[in-house]
Chains A and B, each alone.
Chain A
């Protein structure tokens, strides 16, 4: 994979192909977009955003139990 984006969720790190949408990356990683919010450089972004080469997207799990 030449162009890649890192996706972080809690203590897990995933590498996905850059250039596609965040939504398709989430689908590949089997992460429901309903269960996370996505942060790029401190800013909230929507799932149609295109992933850039070398960047890191942080996912914040939204589900709290109890």
Chain B
């Protein structure tokens, strides 16, 4: 297959764009497209300070790499969750993230749940009703809380995560299967800041997961290949596989599913978030972060329970 731009040898075939690209053109195309969508969605400018949530996986490291190429002020945040069930998942992903930052002389904040809160994610999750079998909801809660805390304490304007189109399409699929209205209203590549919550953006939301894996490989980015042990057999992985089956038969289906959802939203096919749907926020007396209910926030309650 030939590169659409230079007729050289293509390294990737993107059927949904009807385009194959060679290594050099692909490595130029990815940052260009990212920049285009950053501007189009008004995510951030070069004057703003960005905090990138890095997990050691391909997407978040690739995002950090791209933002450097594009000349943004982007620092990293790694949250050490203490997930080491058998395969040293957290230790290894932290090592790779630090190596990435050191090699490029980038600033990396590290939050260590064990030293800051005296516990780890698997222990925390066992203490909650929801998390007993799957710690993912506790994990999401801890990550959101700590990302927002670091953004606030260090004065970052915006929080960026490495979610790609497959992540977003899988989430949309899951929320649609359950007609999860309030999640559908909130799902967007840019969430403006409100009441003490930092603005959140997903600059890679237009790229297929395969493109990000190719980008990481071609850029020589060393990332954690093993999955989090708790991700095995997760519904999001199953939905991604389902969507890929569909994509295989109908190239572009995955992209249409998500992108057309966004344009439907823009046309007003979903209600604007109102007070009724997205309740007013209160301030947690312990950590000072916004919470949907009065009194201690879920994070602080969870940390309290695990200590006693």
- With a CB–CB cut-off of 8 A, which chain A residues contact B234? 65-66
Q: Are B236 and A34 in contact (CB under 8 A)?
A: no
Provided the pairs A44-B11, A46-B12 are in contact, do residues A64 and B59 lie with their beta carbons within 8 angstroms? yes
Binary A-proximity of B15-29 (CB < 8 A = 1, otherwise 0): 000001001000000
Q: Are A37 and B213 in contact (CB under 8 A)?
A: yes
Q: Are A60 and B248 in contact (CB under 8 A)?
A: no
Interface size on B, residues (CB 8 A): 36
Q: Are B228 and A66 in contact (CB under 8 A)?
A: yes
Contacting residues of chain A (44-66) with chain B, CB-CB under 8 angstroms? 44-48, 60, 62-66
Binary B-proximity of A33-45 (CB < 8 A = 1, otherwise 0): 1111101000111
User: Which of the four size classes fits the interface of chain A?
Assistant: 10 to 19
Provided the pairs A44-B218, A66-B236 are in contact, do residues A35 and B244 lie with their beta carbons within 8 angstroms? yes
The answer for the CA separation of A45 and B23 in the assembled complex, in Å, is 10
B237 at the interface (CB under 8 A from A): yes
Provided the pairs A32-B241, A34-B247, A48-B13 are in contact, do residues A39 and B217 lie with their beta carbons within 8 angstroms? yes
Q: Are A35 and B210 in contact (CB under 8 A)?
A: yes
CB distance from B260 to the nearest CB of A (A): 19
Q: Are A34 and B12 in contact (CB under 8 A)?
A: no
B117 at the interface (CB under 8 A from A): no
Q: Are B214 and A46 in contact (CB under 8 A)?
A: no
Q: Are B227 and A32 in contact (CB under 8 A)?
A: no
Q: Are B231 and A65 in contact (CB under 8 A)?
A: yes
- With a CB–CB cut-off of 8 A, which chain A residues contact B166? 63
- With a CB–CB cut-off of 8 A, which chain A residues contact B218? 44
CB distance from B5 to the nearest CB of A (A): 15
Binary A-proximity of B174-203 (CB < 8 A = 1, otherwise 0): 000000000000000000000000000000
Q: Are A66 and B231 in contact (CB under 8 A)?
A: yes
Q: Are B248 and A62 in contact (CB under 8 A)?
A: no
Q: Are A46 and B11 in contact (CB under 8 A)?
A: yes
Supply 19 further A-B pairs (C-beta < 8 A) apart from A34-B210, A66-B236.
A32-B245, A34-B244, A34-B248, A37-B217, A46-B1, A46-B12, A60-B225, A62-B209, A62-B210, A63-B240, A64-B57, A64-B59, A64-B227, A65-B236, A65-B237, A66-B139, A66-B227, A66-B228, A66-B231
Listed A/B pairs (6) with beta-carbon separation below 8 Å: A34-B208, A34-B248, A37-B210, A43-B11, A60-B213, A65-B240
5 closest cross-chain pairs (CB), A and B:
A65-B231, A62-B213, A34-B244, A66-B231, A65-B237
